[in-house]
Structure formats: structure tokens, C-alpha cells
Amino acid sequence: MKTKSNIKNWSKKLFWIVPLIFLGIFACREELASEEFEISELSVKTSEINELLPAMYNSKFNFSWTPANNQGTSSAISYKLEIDKKENNFSNPQTYEIGKNIYSYDILIGDLNTLLIYTYGATPDTDITMQARVTATFANSSVKSQSSAVDFTLKPYKPFTNTLYIVGDATPNGWDITQATALTKSTSNPAEFVYYGQLKSGNFKFATSQESCWCQDFYTRDSNDETKMVYSVGGSGTDLQWTIDNPSLYKVTVNVLTLSIKIEKMDGPQFNDVWIVGDASPSGWDVDNPVALKQDQSNPFIFTLECSLKEGNFKFLTGTKGEWCGEWYRPLVDNQDLVATGMAQNSGCTVDNRWKVSAAASGRYLITINTANNTIKFEPVNVYMIGDATPNGWNMGTLAPMQKNGSVYTWTGNLTAGSFKFAKFNTNWCDGTELVAVTQDQSISNTSFQERIKCAGGDATDLKWKVNSAGNHTITLNLDTNTLNIQ
């Protein structure tokens, strides 16, 4: 009987003990979960790099951080990175919106170096202390934003020059440094510059600007190796130059990081200057000051000119200006229209064939000459409005042109709220020249514009006009006078 009584008493005790055990387990889980949230607080760190070097310009400087704590709400978390000089206390930060579920961000060291020098006034080869701050915000408004900051010290290097000019009696403009010829900066390598053009017998070196003072920085020839350069700060050092003995077309490639130079003699066209002459052309019959065609840098046999042609005749002068019986490009027959593609290069005045522009054919053209195969192409220039403020929308390839009268293009209709710009092509993006605003979201009351050629310059030059409210407008564009009117 006592055994049954004990069992009965223990059953009553277990009835109360078991629930308490489960409550303890749940309480422990809640406590652990709370501790887990506290452990995962946001913190940020940077790459362990202190000195930036020119050779690192394509390397990456990394910012990373731990996940923020959403307090068990399952809320989405977005991150923002800010960088500023330490004493600014984030009053003038560079801000990067990182997005969701991303815990690191890379900046090219070349870009970071530029930021330190030009935005925060750092001195090359001198330490500057910066701060990085990551801020986490939550989709659930009940969770307050969290942030974490870290100090880091960097020693920047002196930035590469953004411009380089070739100067000397071997170059097109001689020793007139204010007219020195610019080299083309590589889009893939900021330390590389290229000159492609004629060089005469004589010498040359490189200047970093077109300032008239010869006390500026130069790149001159290394005394021990002609394929190497010396960086002469303020014109200091021995003024050694490179020498050209054989006049020709040359490609000169310069690397201001490795201080190397490569000079290549190229097989090129017979002539590197072509001018239009004739009463149908913008030059008239002035052989002393004719309008020049532009030589293509990637293919020096190609020359182009966009201009208005009026009723009359014209031909192309080459070689040397001012010589009526000098070198010319002429059509195969006299009074040739603008349809045939053949032409001939000849000298003298005996065979003086010319192109003829009729009254009906007058207008604005893009002229392309290929001196490798002696062909010519005349393409009428149309102008298209493109943008969500226009009836064309952003539908490249199906654009309706503006109405054309010679060099004047007009359009009348309703502009809706949105943006727009002008294009001289209707094929694929970056196929030709655009006419864009000079500032982003430019008011239509400001009619200043500039050319954007085949998307040169990237997105930074993709500037548009902004229409704030819909309304009927008349737009008139004159390509001869480069004027725009919006009423």
C-alpha cells in the first residue's frame, strides 16, 4: 500500500515539474537568441594597406562589414558606405549606396588616390587619416538604423598627369608650346598616351600642359636608353630629346608609370591633310584658308567633314595649301553629282574635274573620303529628337526626323515631362554623333549644347534637357550657326 501511495505522490509532483522544465528550456532558447543578436552587431574594417603606390592604380581597396542585427524581425537590411576626412566628422562624405545582403565594397586605388588628392586636399607622400562609416537601415521601421565607423590612414602618391603634349621641330606645330599637339589618353590604362600622326626631321619631347612657361614638367629622353623617359619636374634635369631622321607617319606610345616610350614608323597615306574648296563649299574658292577635313586617328586613310553644300561646284585640295595647280582629289568626270563614289588623285590644272551640287541637292552632308581606295561618300545629315519627353521616346532605330531645310532643322509638337537630346543617327546606340546639353537636367530655357561623338566620354557626357511640364513647343536647330531655339 505504501508503494502505491508513493507512486501516486510522485505522479502529482511530475504533473508540476515537467511544465517547469519545458518553460526553462524555452527561456534558455530565448536568452541564447538574444545573445546571438547581440553578437552579430555591425562592425566595419578596411584593407590593410597604408601606402598607395602608382603601380597599384588598378588594384582594389576593400571595405567590409559584418551583417547588422535586425532584432529577429526578418527585416530586409540595406547598407550605405561613407568616406570622409577624419576631422570632417562625415560633414562632406563620399557616399556609396551598397544595397541589400552585400557586405563589402571595392574602390580602385587609382580612384581612391584621386579622391584623397583632389577632394580632400591630401599631399602626395604624406599621411592623411580618413574615416569609413557603414550605416544599415531596415525595411521594418520598428528597428532603428545601425552604424559603425573605422579610422584608416593612407599615404597617397602624386597622380598621373591627365594631359600630355608633344612639342618640338619634328612635330606639326614646332616649338610653339601653346599649340603643342595633345596625345590621346588610353581608356583602359590611365598611364598610357598615344600620338598618331606625321613627324618631320627634328627633335621632340613631351610637356604636361600647353602653358607658355618652359618651367613646367616635361618628359625627356633617358641618356642611357632611348626607350625610357626621365620625368623632369619644373623643367629640371638634362634636356635630352628624341630625334626623327626620316619624316613619315608615326605612332608614339608613352607610359608615364613605367617611364617607357615606343616609337613606330607606320605605313600611312600619301597625304595627311585634305581641304574642301569651291563655291558650293564653306571655303569658297579660297585655297589659302580652306576648311579642313578631319583625319581618322584609328585609320589615317579616312577623312571626314560635316558641312552644308549649296548650289555650285567643289573639289578637294591636298598636299600644300595655296597652290591652284598642286595636288587634288577630283571626281572621275566633270560636274559629277553626289551619287557616284569614285574619285582620282592628280596634280596640275590640265584635268580639272569638279563635283556639282544642284539646287535640289543642296543641304547638309557628312562627307567621307577613303584615300586608300580613292572613294567618296556623301550622306545627308538628319537630326532626331530622342527621349521620354518626345513622341519618339527612347526607341533608337525607329526615330522620326526633324523637318530639314538646308542646315536648319525644326520640330513642332507636344513635349511631355521627361528628358531629351538630339541624335544624328537612327541605327544603334553610339553609332554616330549626338547633340547634348552642357549640364545634366538642363532647363529648356538654356539652349547651349555640345557634341557627343560615338559616346566618347562615357556616361559623364550623356547630358540631357529636362522638361518639367508638358506643353507645345517649336524647336529650331541651325547646324551652320550652331544655334538652338526652343519656343
Q: Could you report how far apart the first and last alpha carbons of the chain are, in Å? A: 111
β-bridge mates for residue 450, sequence order? 436
Q: Which amino acid is at 280?
A: A
CATH no., domain 44-154: 2.60.40.10
The pLDDT of residue 23 is above 70: no
Element (H, E) at 422: strand 418-423
Count CB-CB contacts under 10 A for residue 171.
Answer: 24
Residue 301: strand, helix, or coil: coil
* Overall pTM surpassing 0.95 (yes/no): no
Domains of the chain, by residue range, sit at 44-154, 165-266, 274-380, 384-486
Rounded distance, CA 339 to CA 32, Å? 84
Average pLDDT over every residue of 404-422: 96
Q: Which of 53-62, 183-192, 288-297, 394-403 has the lowest mean pLDDT?
A: 183-192
pLDDT per residue as tens digits for the range 327-351: 899 999 999 999 999 998 888 888 8
Element (H, E) at 203: strand 202-207
Residue with cell 550605416: 135
Rounded distance, CA 146 to CA 135, Å? 6
Q: To the nearest whole number, what is the mean pLDDT of the chain?
A: 87
pLDDT per residue as tens digits for the range 239-294: 899 999 987 778 899 999 899 999 998 777 878 899 999 999 999 999 999 999 99
Q: Best-predicted range by mean pLDDT among 177-181, 189-193, 313-317? A: 313-317
Which three cell numbers, joined as nine digits, stand for 434? 549626338
Q: Identical fold at 44-154 and 384-486?
A: yes
Pick the CATH number of 274-380 from 2.60.40.3620, 1.20.120.1200, 2.40.50.140, 3.40.50.150: 2.60.40.3620
Res 378: pLDDT: 97
Please state whether beta strands 465-467 and 442-443 pair in parallel, antiparallel, or not at all (unpaired). parallel
Asked if CATH classification 1.10.3470 holds for the domain at 384-486, the reply, yes or no, is: no
Asked if CATH classification 3.40.50.720 holds for the domain at 165-266, the reply, yes or no, is: no
pLDDT per residue as tens digits for the range 57-110: 888 999 999 999 988 898 999 999 999 999 999 999 999 999 998 999 999 998
Which three cell numbers, joined as nine digits, stand for 24? 526553462
Count CB-CB contacts under 10 A for residue 306.
Answer: 17
Q: Are 160 and 191 in contact (CB under 8 A)?
A: yes
Res 205: pLDDT: 96
pLDDT band at 187 (very low <50, low <70, confident <90, very high): low
Residue 279: strand, helix, or coil: coil
Q: Which of 39-43, 233-237, 361-365 has the lowest mean pLDDT?
A: 39-43
Q: Are 276 and 290 in contact (CB under 8 A)?
A: yes
pLDDT per residue as tens digits for the range 49-58: 999 988 888 8
The pLDDT of residue 24 is above 80: no
β-bridge mates for residue 357, sequence order? 312
Question: Residue 208: what are its φ and ψ, rounded to 5°?
Answer: -90, -10
Q: Are 407 and 484 in contact (CB under 8 A)?
A: no
